[in-house]
Structure 1
Amino acid sequence: MRVDPFTVSVPDEVLTDLRERIGRTRWPEAAPGEAWSQGVEVGYLRELLAYWADGFDWRAAERELNRYRHQVAEVDGVRIHFVHHCGSGDERTPLILTHGWPSTFAEMLGLVDRLGDRFDLVVPSLPGYVFSQRPAQVGVDRRYVAGMWHRLMRGLGYERYGACGGDFGAGVATHMALLEPERVIGIHLSTPEMEPYTGPGTPPLTGEEQAYLAQLSRWEETERGYSAVQSTRPQTLGYGLNDSPAGLAAWVLDKWRSWSDSGGDLDGTFGRDSLLTMLTLWWATDSITASMRDYYDNRWHGSPIGPEDRVRVPTAMAVFANEFVPEGQVPRSWYERLYQVRRWTAFPRGGHFAAMEQPDLLAGDIAEFFGGLT
């Protein structure tokens, strides 16, 4: 496998076009009722976009991103981008860290800073996200990407390795363990991405599990609309998001606010420059539409968990307090239907984007788990 160096570099004309488009935004009127109750509040977004156009220093953000070692490789005929960090010492454990939606590889860079001494770290961009191409076909689901990641890791010279992730990244890590368990030392998950099989022949749901599923159902009634659209009409939605910086920012940041333990304070939790770094990566690569195909492919062409599926490699679950439903409603028994849970850590704070919200907690949990396996 050929591996080439890569540098994050956005042309000046792309940034100029971005600023001009922000200046031509046609703003809707403010929604009646409580702020944010119908989506992103217009006053917040106007202020953010004004800063994106005239205050945000993308070149400084670019230099920060390029502190890391970026590479690209061809996997299954498509270009895959990844950050590759080699630790020090002779007993380093290789780990692949996979982000989810609506996120990018940049979410995981804080973990590189905290784990880089003890581990070799590979942080890929999912197919269709920012600098990674997406295969021009349907069926690029979690299992498909898991196979790609195995080939990527072998191409980099790693025979055995661990896998970590949240959101789609947790699903990819799960399928890596199902596909080639002999290569996977263990998996570490920070979100409950995969639902276990609960059909004929499985134990009845416990009271805790029933309460969890009921609360998850209530969450889906108010939060799942994005998924319904992205899994049925990602192309139609993509025209608006790919053409409007305001549309892109509103669609993505709505989820970062709702799913995080931010208390409604996006800027205070993540930092305005970090949010705009992510948005600029999306914008400059025209990749938001391709990323949403994850929902279409996994819904209609995906590989569901079946009655014979069981993750038999050691699994760690990091359960963050604001991960969609309260921590107390996520029973360990639910995970144990699918995984060999070796480590279970419930954190009193943090949410869906734990690698950015609570990087110290998450990195410490990853290090302790894999340190105990080797």
Structure 2
Amino acid sequence: MKNVTEFKVNVPEQVLDDLKKRLQNTRWPGEAESSGWNFGTSESYLRGLVQYWLTGYDWRKQESLLNKYPQYTAEVKGVKIHFQYIKGKGKNPKPLILTHGWPDSYYRFHKIIPLLTEGEQSFDLVIPSIPGFGFSDKVALTSEAVADLWKVLMTENLSYDKFYAAGGDIGMGVNKALASKYPQIVAGVHFTDIGYPMGQEDPATMSEAEKQFAQFVQQWWYAEGAYAMVHSTKPQSLAYGLNDSPAALAGWILSFVHSGATTDLLERSFGDKDALLTNIMIYWVTQTIGTSVRMYKVDAMAQWSGAQPLQKSNVPAGISLFPREAQFPKEWAERFVNVTSYRKMKEGGHFAALEVPDVFADELRSFFYSIK
């Protein structure tokens, strides 16, 4: 490894003391009678979560779990990147970079680390925090710019000639850019989502399945897409409240998580209650919620500027479509990537690596080890 420094998560006690006071002093707004989640995050649920946060959740225990695996920082093109780096135990492990999204973090992949680093078909896992998230520098970059950093991290800092890439949500955009810009060194990419119709496509070029998908996305956008509209237009206005109130931060993140899971699946969809809070804590202790949502605006500005769209590459692309993700047809994905594997899964949602880690790990292993 070149120009890499070891890293440990070690949150000062005063940060935890301050968090406790803020949680205890939450000013609850009240909610409409029997409104449940129909107006946004349920206050009754959030009150219970905050109480558990105060009395049952153990950050120091979770911190030790985060430190279980080797972590590092490296300055890449002037940006400090935090990442986990875990070597596979097989004879010829494949280098694989995993990219998270919003509102999760590098913790998204915590459960699949032991599953992908053991056995003959293993991987050298590189799991970075996107700039503006977690323990990386607090700067918002476009998805394409992040892909450029990942290329340098993998080839220069970690000295791999070729590597593989997987991820979802924002990680999807990063991986599309990697495949498009660096097909000589990216040997394969894996996706759980692939982007959505935004009204710019010519209907004459769309299949019937794609048109139905576009209609579904439009309906979903009107019902659940408020978060992305705010992030893409007024992220700074939102950041003040989320950076100041842990209850507000949790409420905003939970609103998105609930959009992809029924109430009874809410915690399980993110692993469990502790996993949900650990992810929220990573935003809180690093004060990166503002830069994380700002990335949406930066990406949107790049798109509005008329920048050239990424070219489709010939890099083999695998898709594992989980049932609580938007069900895009194969031909929609084929517009952007070279789909060589398209599989519909039986269970799981947006955070499949946390919800069904065994299934997700099996999908990555079977796809990447099928590439010749």
> TM-score with structure 1 length normalisation?
0.93
Classify the secondary structure of the residue corresponding to 2:31: coil
CA contact (8 A) 2:227 2:256 kept: no
How far did residue 110 of structure 1 move?
A: 1.4
Change (3 A) 1:332 1:315: same
How far did residue 89 of structure 1 move?
A: 3.3
In the alignment, the residues of structure 1 paired with residue 201 and residue 104 of structure 2 have an alpha-carbon distance, to the nearest angstrom, of 33
Give the unaligned 5+ runs of structure 1: none
* Residue 135 (structure 2) aligns with: 131
Classify the secondary structure of the residue corresponding to 1:79: strand
In the alignment, the residues of structure 2 paired with residue 194 and residue 83 of structure 1 have an alpha-carbon distance, to the nearest angstrom, of 30
**Deviation readout 1:207-254 (Å, 9 max, x if unpaired):** 111001001100000111111111111111100000001100000111
* Residue 340 (structure 2) aligns with: 342
Q: Report the more deviating stretch, 219-228 or 264-273.
A: 264-273
Classify the secondary structure of the residue corresponding to 1:312: coil
Change (3 A) 1:198 1:265: closer
**Deviation readout 1:164-203 (Å, 9 max, x if unpaired):** 0000001101100111100011000011236699757x97
CA contact (8 A) 1:196 1:337 kept: no
C-alpha RMSD of matched pairs (Å): 2.0
Equivalent positions of 1:89-238 (< 5 A) are 89-117=90-118, 118-135=122-139, 140-154=141-155, 155-193=157-195, 204-238=205-239
**Deviation readout 1:276-299 (Å, 9 max, x if unpaired):** 111111111111001011110110
Change (3 A) 1:197 1:36: closer
CA contact (8 A) 1:83 1:122 kept: yes
**Deviation readout 1:113-169 (Å, 9 max, x if unpaired):** 21012110100000010101144xx7x211110000000001211110000000000
Change (3 A) 1:69 1:204: same
In the alignment, the residues of structure 1 paired with residue 315 and residue 226 of structure 2 have an alpha-carbon distance, to the nearest angstrom, of 34
How far did residue 43 of structure 1 move?
A: 1.0
* Residue 358 (structure 2) aligns with: 360
* Residue 76 (structure 1) aligns with: 77
Runs of 4 or more above 6 Å deviation: none
CA contact (8 A) 1:188 1:315 kept: yes
Classify the secondary structure of the residue corresponding to 1:322: coil
CA contact (8 A) 1:18 1:53 kept: no
* Residue 9 (structure 1) aligns with: 10
Classify the secondary structure of the residue corresponding to 2:40: coil
CA contact (8 A) 1:257 1:264 kept: no
In the alignment, the residues of structure 2 paired with residue 349 and residue 305 of structure 1 have an alpha-carbon distance, to the nearest angstrom, of 37
In the alignment, the residues of structure 1 paired with residue 258 and residue 146 of structure 2 have an alpha-carbon distance, to the nearest angstrom, of 27
Classify the secondary structure of the residue corresponding to 2:218: helix
**Deviation readout 1:55-84 (Å, 9 max, x if unpaired):** 211111011111111111001112110000
Classify the secondary structure of the residue corresponding to 2:256: helix
Classify the secondary structure of the residue corresponding to 1:181: coil
In the alignment, the residues of structure 1 paired with residue 223 and residue 125 of structure 2 have an alpha-carbon distance, to the nearest angstrom, of 37
In the alignment, the residues of structure 2 paired with residue 373 and residue 179 of structure 1 have an alpha-carbon distance, to the nearest angstrom, of 20
**Deviation readout 1:308-361 (Å, 9 max, x if unpaired):** 7112100001101110x3x3xx21111112211111110122111111112111
Q: Which amino acid aligns with 1:32?
A: E
Residue 65 of structure 2 corresponds to residue 67 of structure 1:
no
How far did residue 51 of structure 1 move?
A: 1.3
Change (3 A) 1:306 1:213: farther
**Deviation readout 1:14-35 (Å, 9 max, x if unpaired):** 0000000011110011223431
* Residue 321 (structure 1) aligns with: 323
Aligned length: 365
* Identical-residue share of aligned pairs (%): 38
> TM-score with structure 2 length normalisation?
0.93
Classify the secondary structure of the residue corresponding to 2:74: strand
